[in-house]
C-alpha cells in the first residue's frame, strides 16, 4: 500500500468520526429543543389552568359576596322585633334602677329618722344614747344592730373604768352590786370579775347561742330554750317572752381584740318588726373575756338593768317589788322604797355570791359534753 493510499484512508476515518460527532450534537440539540418545547407547553397549560382557576374563584367570590349582602338585609319585621326587644330590656333596666334608687332613698330616710330617734331622749328611762330602736327594713335593721353594738363596744373601757374594776392582772375574785333609786326608777348593777375553768371560746359560745338561758340562770337555774332569732355578721338577736310577762329582745355584738374578746348586750326597747305591749327591762351588759394559763378564762362582767316599764311608763313600785318577791302591800308608803331597797340588795348579794360557781359548773358541763 502506497503512502498516498494510507493518508487517504486516515482522512476518511477522520471525516467519519467528525460526521458521527456532528450527528450526535445535532441529535442532542434536537432532543433539547423537544424537551424545551414540551416544558414550555407544560408551563403554558399550567398557566392556562391557573388562569381558569382564578377566573372560577373570582366568579364564586362575587357570587358569595352578592349572597352575603342579600343575607345582611333583614326583613323589616325582624328589625322591628329586635328593636322592640331592646326597648323592653332598656325599660326593665330603668325600672330596676328606679326601684334601687327608691329603696336607697327610703333607707337614707329611715336611717336619718333612726339616728334622730336614738340621739333624742324619748323618755327618762335611761340616758339618751341607751334608748334603742330597730326598724323593720332589713338593711336599716342591720345598720341599726351594728350601730348599737359598736356604740357599746367603744364605751367598754370607759364603763369598766367608771365602775372601778380591779386590774386585769389581779387574781382576786371581785363581786359587787348596786341598787340606785333615782327620781323616776330603780336601777341595778352587777360588777363581777372572776376566772372560769374553760377556754374563752366556750364562754363566748354560751352567751352567743344561749344568752337568755345564761341570764336567767341566777334566778331559775339553767333552762335551755331556743331564743336566737337573728344572726348576721358579728351580731345576734335573742327574743324571749318570760313567764313573768317580760319581753326580752336583746341585740348582741362580738368584738375581738388582740388579747381579749368583748361581748356586748342591749335590750331593744322599740322594735318595728316585733311591736309589744309587754313590760321590759332595759338591760345592758359588757362582757370582757381574756384567755389565761391552763386553758382558763378571766371574765369581767358589768350588768346593768332598770325597773320594769311598759308603753305607759315605769310600773308602780309595788309591782316592781313584787316581781322580786317583795310584797309591799302592808308596808307604810314612806317606808316602801327603803324596804324594797334593802330587800333587793340582800337578794342581789346572794345571787352574786353564787354566780361564779353556777356559771363555772355550767360551762364546764357544756365543754365536757362537746368533747364526748
Assess whether pLDDT exceeds 80 at residue 358.
yes
Residues 235 and 329 in one domain: yes
Residues 213 and 351 in one domain: yes
Band (pLDDT 50/70/90 cuts) for residue 46 is: confident
| Number of structural domains found in the chain | 2
Order of strands, sheet of 283-292, starting from the edge strand that comes earlier in the sequence? 174-181, 186-196, 296-306, 283-292, 261-267, 247-256, 235-241, 228-232
Residues 305 and 181 in one domain: yes
How many alpha carbons lie under 13 Å from residue 195 in its C-beta half-sphere? 13
pLDDT at res. 165: 93
pLDDT at res. 249: 95
Domain edge (last residue) among 38, 73, 108: 73
| pLDDT average, residue stretch 315-343 | 93
Query: pLDDT averaged over the chain?
Result: 83
The answer to whether residue 114 sits within a structural domain is no
The answer to whether residue 268 sits within a structural domain is yes
| pLDDT average, residue stretch 335-348 | 93
Percentage with pLDDT > 90 across the chain: 43
Enumerate residues 6+ apart whose C-beta is below 8 A from 223: 213, 216, 217
In this structure, what C-alpha cell is assigned to residue 212?
Answer: 337568755
| pLDDT average, residue stretch 283-305 | 95
The answer to whether residue 197 sits within a structural domain is yes
Residues 42 and 151 in one domain: no
What's the CA gap between 77 and 25, in Å, rounded? 82
pLDDT at res. 195: 93
- Note down the domain range covering 332: 145-371
Assess whether pLDDT exceeds 90 at residue 101.
no
The answer to whether residue 296 sits within a structural domain is yes
Assess whether pLDDT exceeds 90 at residue 327.
yes
CATH of the domain at 311: 3.30.530
Instruction: Decide the pairing of beta strands 133-134 and 270-271.
Output: parallel
Band (pLDDT 50/70/90 cuts) for residue 44 is: confident
Band (pLDDT 50/70/90 cuts) for residue 119 is: low
Q: Rounded to an integer, what is the distance from CA 195 to the centroid of its chain?
A: 33
pLDDT in tens, 189-232: 999 999 999 999 999 998 998 888 888 877 666 667 788 999 99
What's the CA gap between 41 and 200, in Å, rounded? 101
Q: Among 333, 106, 299, which Cα is nearest to 193's? A: 299
Residues 161 and 36 in one domain: no
Domain edge (last residue) among 21, 56, 73: 73
| pLDDT average, residue stretch 133-144 | 88
The answer to whether residue 111 sits within a structural domain is no
The answer to whether residue 342 sits within a structural domain is yes
The answer to whether residue 367 sits within a structural domain is yes
The answer to whether residue 96 sits within a structural domain is no
| Positive or negative: CA dihedral 37, 41, 46, 47 | positive
Residues 58 and 152 in one domain: no
pTM for this model (two decimals): 0.68
| pLDDT average, residue stretch 91-109 | 69
Enumerate residues 6+ apart whose C-beta is below 8 A from 46: none
Residues 249 and 356 in one domain: yes
Residues 193 and 309 in one domain: yes
Band (pLDDT 50/70/90 cuts) for residue 105 is: low
Domain edge (last residue) among 73, 91, 120: 73
Residues 159 and 26 in one domain: no
Amino acid at each position: 500500500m502506497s503512502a498516498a493510499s494510507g493518508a487517504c484512508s486516515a482522512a476518511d476515518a477522520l471525516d467519519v468520526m467528525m460526521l458521527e460527532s456532528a450527528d450526535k450534537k445535532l441529535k442532542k440539540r434536537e432532543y433539547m429543543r423537544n424537551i424545551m418545547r414540551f416544558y414550555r407547553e407544560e408551563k403554558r397549560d399550567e398557566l392556562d389552568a391557573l388562569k381558569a382557576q382564578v377566573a372560577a374563584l373570582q366568579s364564586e367570590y362575587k357570587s358569595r359576596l352578592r349572597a352575603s349582602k342579600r343575607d345582611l338585609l333583614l326583613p323589616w319585621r325582624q328589625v322591628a322585633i329586635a328593636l322592640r326587644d331592646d326597648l323592653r330590656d332598656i325599660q326593665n333596666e330603668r325600672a330596676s334602677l328606679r326601684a334601687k334608687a327608691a329603696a336607697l332613698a327610703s333607707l337614707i330616710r329611715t336611717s336619718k329618722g333612726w339616728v334622730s330617734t336614738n340621739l333624742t331622749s324619748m323618755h327618762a328611762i335611761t340616758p339618751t344614747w341607751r334608748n334603742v330602736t330597730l326598724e323593720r327594713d332589713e338593711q336599716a335593721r342591720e345598720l341599726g344592730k351594728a350601730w348599737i353594738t359598736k356604740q357599746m363596744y367603744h364605751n367598754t373601757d370607759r364603763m369598766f373604768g367608771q365602775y372601778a374594776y380591779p386590774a386585769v392582772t389581779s387574781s382576786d375574785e371581785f363581786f359587787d352590786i348596786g341598787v340606785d333609786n333615782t327620781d323616776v326608777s330603780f336601777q341595778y348593777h352587777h360588777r363581777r370579775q372572776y376566772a372560769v375553768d374553760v377556754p374563752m371560746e366556750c364562754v363566748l359560745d354560751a352567751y352567743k347561742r344561749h344568752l337568755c338561758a345564761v341570764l336567767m340562770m341566777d334566778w331559775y337555774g339553767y333552762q335551755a330554750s331556743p331564743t336566737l332569732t337573728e344572726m348576721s355578721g358579728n351580731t345576734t338577736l335573742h327574743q324571749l317572752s318570760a313567764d313573768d310577762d317580760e319581753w326580752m329582745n336583746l341585740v348582741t355584738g362580738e368584738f375581738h381584740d388582740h388579747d381579749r374578746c368583748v361581748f356586748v348586750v342591749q335590750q331593744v326597747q322599740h322594735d318595728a318588726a316585733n311591736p309589744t305591749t309587754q313590760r321590759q327591762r332595759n338591760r345592758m351588759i359588757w362582757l370582757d373575756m381574756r384567755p389565761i394559763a391552763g386553758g382558763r378564762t378571766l371574765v369581767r362582767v358589768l350588768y346593768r338593768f332598770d325597773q320594769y316599764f311598759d308603753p305607759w311608763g315605769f310600773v308602780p313600785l309595788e309591782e316592781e317589788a313584787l316581781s322580786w318577791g317583795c310584797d309591799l302591800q302592808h308596808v307604810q308608803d314612806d317606808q316602801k322604797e327603803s324596804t324594797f331597797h334593802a330587800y333587793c340588795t340582800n337578794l342581789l348579794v346572794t345571787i352574786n355570791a353564787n354566780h361564779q360557781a353556777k356559771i363555772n359548773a355550767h360551762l364546764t358541763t357544756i365543754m365536757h359534753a362537746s368533747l364526748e
